[in-house]
Amino acid sequence: MDKFRMVFQFLQSNQESFMSGICGIMALASAQLYSAFDFNCPCLPRYNLAYGLGVLLVPPLILFLLGFVLNNNVSMLTEEWRRPQGQRGKDAAVLRYMFCSVAQRAMIAPAVWVSVTLLDGKCITCAFCTALPVEALGNASHHSLPQGEMKRVLARIPCQEIYDGQELVANEVAIRYLRCISQALGWCFVLLMTTLAFLVRSLRPCFTQAVFLKSRYWSHYIDIERKLFDETCAEHAKSFAKVCIQQFFQSMSKDLVATHCHPPRKAPTDAGEASEKLLGITDWGTMNTALKSWHRCKPPLHLHPAAPLSSNGWAGEWLVCLSSQLQINTSGLPFRLDAQES
C-alpha cells in the first residue's frame, strides 16, 4: 500500500509530465486501434458515405472527450469557472489558458486517428466512390447506364470480390485515384496540425508575453492551491477521526472503571496535538460551514503578513461576504475572532 501511495504522490507532483505521457499513450493507442479495426465498407450507395465519414470523425470525437475525462485539470477548470465571485475575481484570460492547455492535450489522439485514417485511404474510398469522375477515368461508351444503376456499380468499388463494373471503370484505377486524394488530404492535415502547434507553442508568448506569463502563473497557483487545500482537509479529517476515536475509547474506559470491570488507563499523550490540528473546527456542522465558506467566498489574493487583523481588514470583509452569501449569523462562523476583540 505504501508503494502505491508513493506512486500516487509522484504522479500528483509531476502532473504535467504525467498528463503528457497519458496523451502520448492515447495517441499510440489510437493508431494501434485503427490498425486492429476491421474496416468493412457496406458497398451500398445509401450507406457508404455515412459509414466512411463515421469511421473518420466519430472515433476522434470519442478520443477528444476521453482526453477531457482523463485530465484532472478539467474539474479544476470547471470549479474555477462556476464558483461564486466572492472576494476573488475571475480572470477570463486565466480560464482561457487553462482550457487551451487541456484542449491541446486532448486533441493529440484525435489528430493521430484522422491522420492515420486519411493516409490509409479506406474511409475516403468508401465514402466518395460514388462521386468518381467516370468521364475521366472510365469508359465513356457506358454512359447510357441509368444514374441509379451507375451509383450502385460505383458503390461496389471498395469490395473487389463483388465489383462488376470493370467495363465501366477499372477497380484498381478507381481505388488508386481515391487513395491518392485521401493521402494528399492526410499530409495536408498533418502539415496544418504541425503548423498550428508551432504557432501556438512558439509564437504566442512572443506577442502576448505579459498576458501569457500572468495566465500561466495564476493557472499554476489555482492548481497548487487546490492540492494544498485537499491535503489540509485530509490532515484535518485524520485528526478529527483520531480525536473522535480517542474520545470514544476514553468514554468506554470510564464506563468500565465505573462498573469496576477494568482498571483506569492513562490518556494518550498525542491527543492534545491532534486537537490542536483541528483549528477549533470540532463538529460536523462547523466543518460543513467552513467548506461552504471556502467555495462561496475564497479569501482575496491580497496578503498583509505584517498587519494585524482588524474589523475593517481581511477578516471583517470575509465575514461580510459570508453573512451576505450564506445567510448565517457571524457568531456561528468556524473561525475564532477573539484576537480582534482583544
Contact 334, 293 (CB under 8 A): yes
116 and 124 in contact (C-beta within 8 Å)?
Answer: no
Q: How far is CA 132 from CA 140, 250, 333, in A?
A: 13, 86, 74
Per-residue pLDDT tens, the chain, 342 aa: give them.
455 455 445 445 555 555 566 666 777 777 777 777 788 899 998 899 999 999 999 999 998 998 888 887 888 888 888 887 777 778 888 888 888 888 888 888 899 999 999 999 999 999 999 888 887 887 656 556 788 888 888 899 998 888 887 878 888 889 999 999 999 999 999 999 999 888 887 877 676 777 778 888 888 888 888 888 888 888 888 888 888 888 887 777 776 666 655 555 555 555 566 666 676 677 778 788 877 777 777 777 777 665 444 444 444 444 555 455 544 433 443 333 333 333
Please tell me what DSSP assigns to residue 330.
G
Rounded Cα distance between 335 and 311, Å, is: 14
Q: What are phi and psi of 28, to 5 degrees?
A: -65, -40
Q: How far apart are CA 60 and CA 54, in angstroms?
A: 10
Length of the chain (residues): 342
* Amino acid, single-letter form, for residue 256: L
For residue 67, what is its C-alpha cell? Answer: 482526453
Q: How far apart are the first and last CA of the chain?
A: 48
pLDDT, residue 308, reads 47
Q: Rounded to whole angstroms, what are the CA distances from 334 to 140, 234, 308?
A: 87, 18, 20
What letter does residue 130 receive in the DSSP assignment?
A: G
Q: Which is nearest to 116 in space by CA: 205, 174, 43, 55?
A: 55
Radius of gyration for the chain, computed over Cα atoms and rounded to the nearest angstrom? 33
pTM > 0.75: yes or no: no
Per-residue CA distances from 112 to 160, 178, 193, 201, 306 (Å)? 28, 21, 10, 19, 54
> Which pLDDT does position 195 carry in this prediction?
92
Query: For position 146, what pLDDT does the model report?
Result: 81
Which candidate, 169, 157, 211, 182, places its Cα nearest to that of 42?
157
